[in-house]
Structure 1
Amino acid sequence: MKNTSTRLLLSCAAIGVAGGILYIMASYLGGTINAVVPMLYGLTLGVYFLPGAVAQYLFRRGGVALLVAVLSGLVSAAFQPLGFLAALIAVGIGAVQELPFLIFRYRRWPAWLFVAGAVFAGIILAIGMYRLVGARELDPAGAIVLVAGSVLSPVIFTLLAIAVARALAATGVARGIARPTDRP
């Protein structure tokens, strides 16, 4: 992240702290849902994509999703049952969020690329949730709901992040630090 201003770093830190608080709430809600209705657990996982996608859409700079995810994970690590493992998971999510834009060398930022990245991440999550939650022990309908929720949840929360980022951009928060949508 060359040419990184203090304003960009502080903006990412603010999004990261808000995301960390969101991660804390999501971990307890997700844990409760996993214990009570495990087939719906996949629907809670998209929350972890929200802070990184907001930062990416708002600033259109490489590395901001990873930075925000790291900060969110560190903020939430002390308050989650997973501890520091939560921060490592957040780093993984931030890295997956960066991949589609890295392919385009951080020059294109269309909304469909955010959705495509979320679908890719959702497929990775679905495979993990199938193994972690034990979908083999669920009935076929429950396994389908778990896998479908794991794929759709990142997409839904990424679209929500785009809406939040657009609202933030309309207030002028990113003026002067956001890059243009497409660069040659």
Structure 2
Amino acid sequence: MKNTSTRLLLSCAAIGVAGGILFVVNSYVGGTVNAVVPMLYGLTLGVYFVPGAIAQFLFRRGGVALLVAVISGLVSAAFQPLGFGAALIAVGIGAVQELPFLIARYRYWPIWLFVVGAAFSGIVLAFGMYRLVGSRDLDVVGAVVLVAGSVLSPIVFTFVALALARALAATGVARGLARPVDDRAAATARRAPARRRR
């Protein structure tokens, strides 16, 4: 992350700690759902996308989803059954959340790009959940429900995260930290004088 500030790092840390607590609660809820109704387990996975999406929407800076995911994973690792594996999963999710915006060179932050990233993540999760749970423990209907829940859950929870981020932004918490939603024109204008100087 370029041009980081102490305030940005502390804000990401606060979101990360809150996310870590959310991850711990969800690990037990998800574990219970997986033990009782495994076909619905996919619906619980989207929770892991909430902290990163909040940070990205609030600050619109590269790397914040990954930073928040690392903090959330480390906070939750000591308090859930997966241990350090939970931190690795959180880091993977944070990295995937960065991808659509990395492709856009962190200059364009529309809502649809959040949805595209969540949908891509959901497809990856659905494949993993089918391999881990659906293919051996569920019939065809159960596997379809598991896969559909795994695809939809990140999208639904991303929208929840965006609603929470809007509420936080309205309090002014990101004032002075957030970049523009569309910085492409400004980036082009900054490059033009450099070309003329050559």
Amino acid aligned to 1:34 = N
CA contact (8 A) 1:135 1:142 kept: no
Deviations 1:114-147 (A, max 9, x none): 0000000000000000011133431111111000
User: What is the TM-score normalised by the length of structure 1?
Assistant: 0.99
CA contact (8 A) 2:33 2:41 kept: yes
2:70 alignment counterpart: 70
Q: 2: distance between equivalents of 1:95 and 1:3?
A: 20
Q: Which runs of 5+ in 2 are unaligned?
A: 185-198
SS of equivalent residue, structure 1 residue 172: coil
Deviations 1:54-79 (A, max 9, x none): 00001000000000000000000000
Q: Which runs of 5+ in 1 are unaligned?
A: none
Q: 2: distance between equivalents of 1:102 and 1:64?
A: 12
User: What is the TM-score normalised by the length of structure 2?
Assistant: 0.92
CA deviation after TM superposition for structure 1 residue 177, in Å? 0.5
Deviations 1:89-124 (A, max 9, x none): 100000000000000000000000000000000000
2:39 alignment counterpart: 39
Q: 2: distance between equivalents of 1:63 and 1:74?
A: 17
Q: How many residues align?
A: 184
Structure possessing the higher radius of gyration over alpha carbons: 2
Instruction: Kindly report structure 1 stretches of 4+ aligned residues shifted beyond 2 Å.
Output: 134-137
CA RMSD of aligned residues (A): 0.7
Amino acid aligned to 1:27 = S
2:140 alignment counterpart: 140
